[in-house]
Structure 1
């Protein structure tokens, strides 16, 4: 067929098919909200493992980045213990990871080296193994710093943070098939208000909408935080936009001005809801993206996180399955906050707890009863001395307060800096929650 004579057309067809899958895509629960709606094999009940993408520290253990597996099932004899550690043989600023659509593989990126490592997590979920490494993202796309891994049917959409020309914040996204073969690239907009910066990705298939947020480039995220804050020119090199995309066409349609580096992005999964929320790192705000009375998508500041004058630095958010609550971690004050989103136009903080001297990622369990916290932001941004805690902690949430259940000290275990967390389960517990529609992808 003529339609498939070019990779570009094949990609457009594949992306158009995403909306066809929306009607039968499975409802995803709790912290699955940071994953793609096209993922199948949802875990039902108690998670068994937490996979932690971990930054290597020179002179500590082998010094390399690694995927660490922790047993988190309280019925297990090894509850709260490290089960496995898979080194990738290099230290390249391990950061974020994401599952493939079939949840058989975990893709994980290094912001400095720009390598993408693919782990098999289905053959033996307790002991993942490294099966592939993509080395040529920069050569194929011009983008560096693979950050967000967002599953598409048979594909992986990878959002980058920087470029290989000036190492600034202008960047884009790359599409790979599930075999790890490059398919296409898509630049972040630099016109009509776009600053070209990228960070997170969120898709609402039913509305044919994709949102992207923005952060900063290699020059900043690889710089010592103290030095960067003292450099006025560096502090100007942060993203201040969100972009709304036509998903089928993979083209930007509208750019929102969102000052202060909007980071993690979460769509509400409550049936009937069509809104997303994000937090801005530098201005400490929650921003809502929603259609107005005229049916036009708008972005607006709806709440303040802590005291912006003290720069608490919101770094990660986790939305509840019912769209009525939001956990927010702020790095500088080590605080985990809970916001009531019953009215997303007016979020209200209802709880807070200092969970560490520094905290980064926050991930809640599928039933919302357990909250996991990790500590590392970036190797050169983490605190110094005694405040440089490196851990994964599990807290029980009873609806009123968080109570610590266990802590894995990553420095004591000689593992490195604990960053991104993903949940896993033994194969026998994996339940098919309703797979997305079968979609024929022309470019294999």
Structure 2
């Protein structure tokens, strides 16, 4: 757990991180929708020179059932090099894997064999509740002073408030709740930061009862899901400002701050507008001494024959894009936007963050389109690009197709299956091309659905940096 020299996968700046060697493995969260068998962390070979390229080469079952793995992350990353709370001798070695339904947190050791992670600790739901007052752990980020874990629910069956728990870097014990003063914040989802500016940002989804059995139409049309983002004083752990996007913009989820620590902006994706079913991308930025949020991308819904739509969408006669994940390349040039409903991954050049320019698009799956992968042209795909992960050098993008079990069932009632695709990036002109050699799907995942991907050595959404 302790090194005499810094972990070679840690980089002080994004400029240096872009020069990192290509990942050889990818770790994927896979879950059983029926909760009758254990979820798993699946290991994929991503080395194009390997005879196992694009195949499952490792599999670790979790010890219990009913976890519903969702997001997960590393115990430590490049933020360990930050001068304000340096921990240069921790290793990027352990995967911190929460169960969104069970509230259990699993710690997996990727050494000595990175293809066969071993479970070394399970933190029970009762410990998270007792020490931090939270349940339904969602997002994991490795900070310079500990492991940050966002959670959607409160303890002992309470709907909220959701918030952030802190885990110790080395013992993985739950230290407690992060917030000293949460102000008006109640709903929770993602958490990110501008480390060198002592700014933390959080977003909103809903309470456990609002999400666990699927999207609730009355709450959506009643504009009851989250529609604001929050800014905090990172050092003092105090709420500073709430910015409401407007209650028609439901569910601002994934946060992606600029990797350059001198920049004061970031992107947040909004799942749906209840006024026209569009999705949107917003930019947070400084406005004098305060923060402002500006809509910079609109993605309209697509008209469709109601006969081809699930019951939830039939009255509207349209397919919403459903932007459910975004990712920003480490050089802050390209923003990737997953449109899970229409089955599209979009690429935008955001060199000028207030004026994005679309530079690429790939269709896979979709509620109506069901676009096939080039390697299996006769196989209609369900689901769509959902979780997005970008390699550190920005040349590869990985997408998986499941959102959340109960939501999958509503939008794809005939099943989503399981697939994961890799896209190659033209880093000069922009553009995306599916890799025909890399398409693990179907029975390769043994009946489990696949959600988030993490790349060996780090990726675009795992690390933060303190040097420009």
Q: 1:365 aligns with which of 381, 391, 395?
A: 391
Q: Distance in 1 between matches of 2:301 and 2:272?
A: 11
Q: 2:417 aligns with which of 377, 389, 413?
A: 389
Change over 3 Å in CA distance of 1:435–1:306 after alignment to 2: closer
Aligned-pair CA distance for 1:217: 1.5
The residue number in structure 1 matching 2:192 is: 202
The residue number in structure 1 matching 2:433 is: 402
Contact 1:287–1:299 (CA under 8 A) maintained in structure 2: yes
Q: 2:403 aligns with which of 377, 383, 388?
A: 377
The residue number in structure 1 matching 2:79 is: none
Aligned residue pairs: how many? 390
Contact 1:217–1:237 (CA under 8 A) maintained in structure 2: no
Aligned-pair CA distance for 1:55: 1.1
**Equivalent residue of 2:351, what SS?**
coil
The residue number in structure 2 matching 1:180 is: 172
Q: Distance in 2 between matches of 1:396 and 1:131?
A: 35
Q: Distance in 2 between matches of 1:76 and 1:412?
A: 18
Q: Distance in 2 between matches of 1:190 and 1:201?
A: 14
The residue number in structure 1 matching 2:329 is: 320
1:288 to 2:277 alignment: no
Change over 3 Å in CA distance of 1:404–1:169 after alignment to 2: farther
TM-score of the aligned structures, taking structure 1 as reference length: 0.80
Q: Which has the higher contact order (CA 8 A, sep 6+)?
A: 1
Q: Distance in 1 between matches of 2:157 and 2:365?
A: 36
TM-score of the aligned structures, taking structure 2 as reference length: 0.76
Deviations 1:173-216 (A, max 9, x none): 1111121212121459764xx34111111111111111111111
**Equivalent residue of 1:44, what SS?**
coil
Q: 1:302 aligns with which of 277, 296, 301?
A: 296
Q: 2:67 aligns with which of 62, 73, 92?
A: 92
Contact 1:220–1:234 (CA under 8 A) maintained in structure 2: no
The residue number in structure 2 matching 1:273 is: 263
Q: 1:355 aligns with which of 357, 360, 364?
A: 364
Q: Distance in 1 between matches of 2:99 and 2:70?
A: 6
Q: 1:149 aligns with which of 124, 140, 150?
A: 140
**Equivalent residue of 1:323, what SS?**
coil
Contact 2:423–2:432 (CA under 8 A) maintained in structure 1: no
Aligned-pair CA distance for 1:25: 7.0
1:140 to 2:131 alignment: yes
1:424 to 2:399 alignment: no
1:26 to 2:12 alignment: yes
**Equivalent residue of 1:262, what SS?**
strand
The residue number in structure 1 matching 2:80 is: none
Q: Distance in 1 between matches of 2:230 and 2:456?
A: 31
| Alignment map for 1:67-78 (pairs within 5 Å) | 67-78=41-52
Aligned-pair CA distance for 1:411: 4.2
Q: Distance in 2 between matches of 1:252 and 1:246?
A: 6
Q: Distance in 1 between matches of 2:200 and 2:134?
A: 20
The residue number in structure 1 matching 2:313 is: none
Q: Distance in 1 between matches of 2:365 and 2:455?
A: 21
Contact 1:240–1:260 (CA under 8 A) maintained in structure 2: yes
**Equivalent residue of 1:303, what SS?**
strand
Contact 2:163–2:179 (CA under 8 A) maintained in structure 1: yes
Q: Distance in 1 between matches of 2:253 and 2:327?
A: 12
Contact 1:29–1:366 (CA under 8 A) maintained in structure 2: no
The residue number in structure 2 matching 1:108 is: 97
The residue number in structure 2 matching 1:224 is: 214
Q: Distance in 1 between matches of 2:179 and 2:271?
A: 23
Q: 2:26 aligns with which of 38, 50, 53?
A: 50
Deviations 1:366-419 (A, max 9, x none): 222211110111111114455513111112223333223321114453150100
Aligned-pair CA distance for 1:266: 0.9
**Equivalent residue of 2:440, what SS?**
strand
Change over 3 Å in CA distance of 1:242–1:103 after alignment to 2: same
Q: Distance in 1 between matches of 2:300 and 2:95?
A: 34
Aligned-pair CA distance for 1:152: 2.0
Q: Distance in 1 between matches of 2:442 and 2:19?
A: 26
**Equivalent residue of 2:101, what SS?**
coil
1:241 to 2:228 alignment: yes
The residue number in structure 2 matching 1:64 is: 38
The residue number in structure 1 matching 2:306 is: none
Q: Distance in 2 between matches of 1:275 and 1:395?
A: 27
Q: Which runs of 4+ in 1 moved over 6 A?
A: 433-437
Unmatched runs of 5 consecutive residues or more in structure 1: 1-23, 33-41, 427-432, 438-444
